[in-house]
Structure 1
Amino acid sequence: MGKLELQQMVLGPVYTNCYFLKNKETGETLIVDPADSPKRIFQKVEDMGAKPVGILLTHGHFDHIMAVQAVKAEYQIPVYACRQEEEMLREPSVNMTDRMHKPCSVRPDVFLEDLQVFEAAGFSIQMLHTPGHTKGSCCYYLKDERVLFSGDTLFCGSVGRTDFPGGSSREIRESLHKLLNALPDETNVYPGHDTSTTIGYEKRYNPFV
Structure 2
Amino acid sequence: MGNIKIEKMVLGMVQTNTWFVINEKTKELILIDPADDAGRIIRKIEADGLKLQGILLTHGHFDHIGAADDLRAYFKGVQCYAGEKEEEVLENGSYNLSASWAAALSIRADRLLRDKETLTLAGFKIKVIETPGHTKGGVCYYLPEEGVLFSGDTLFRTSVGRTDFPTGSMSQIVCSVQYLTENLPGDTVVYPGHQEITTIAYEQRFNPYLS
Fold-level similarity (TM above 0.5): yes
How many Å separate the matches in 2 of 1:47 and 1:191? 25
Deviation larger for 51-60 or 97-106: 97-106
State the match for 2:177 in structure 1: 176
How many Å separate the matches in 2 of 1:102 and 1:173? 32
* Deviation at residue 103 of structure 1 after TM alignment: 2.3
How many Å separate the matches in 1 of 2:91 and 2:185? 34
* 8 Å contact kept, 2:95–2:167: no
State the match for 1:2 in structure 2: 2
Q: Is it true that 1:88 corresponds to 2:116 in the alignment?
A: no
Deviation larger for 158-167 or 102-111: 102-111
Give runs of aligned pairs for residues 161-200 of structure 1, distance below 5 A. 161-200=162-201
* Deviation at residue 198 of structure 1 after TM alignment: 0.3
Deviation larger for 146-155 or 96-105: 96-105
State the match for 1:33 in structure 2: 33
How many Å separate the matches in 2 of 1:20 and 1:102? 27
Alignment deviations for residues 53-102 of structure 1 (CA, whole Å, 9 cap, x no partner): 10000000011011110011111210010000000101122212122323
Give runs of aligned pairs for residues 139-150 of structure 1, distance below 5 A. 139-150=140-151
Identity between Structure 1 and Structure 2 (%): 50
* Deviation at residue 19 of structure 1 after TM alignment: 0.4
* Deviation at residue 121 of structure 1 after TM alignment: 1.0
Corresponding letter in the other structure for 1:35: A
Corresponding letter in the other structure for 1:67: A
* 8 Å contact kept, 1:53–1:75: no
Corresponding letter in the other structure for 2:9: M
* 8 Å contact kept, 1:33–1:55: yes
How many Å separate the matches in 2 of 1:17 and 1:52? 18
* Deviation at residue 16 of structure 1 after TM alignment: 0.1
How many Å separate the matches in 2 of 1:191 and 1:134? 15
Give runs of aligned pairs for residues 120-159 of structure 1, distance below 5 A. 120-159=121-160
Alignment deviations for residues 119-138 of structure 1 (CA, whole Å, 9 cap, x no partner): 11111000100000000111
* 8 Å contact kept, 1:155–1:193: yes
How many Å separate the matches in 2 of 1:196 and 1:208? 17
Give runs of aligned pairs for residues 32-51 of structure 1, distance below 5 A. 32-51=32-51
Matched residue of 1:204: which SS? helix
Could you tell me the TM-score, scaled by structure 1's length? 0.98
Matched residue of 2:194: which SS? coil
Number of aligned positions between the proteins: 209
RMSD of Structure 2 on Structure 1 (CA): 0.8
* 8 Å contact kept, 2:7–2:20: yes
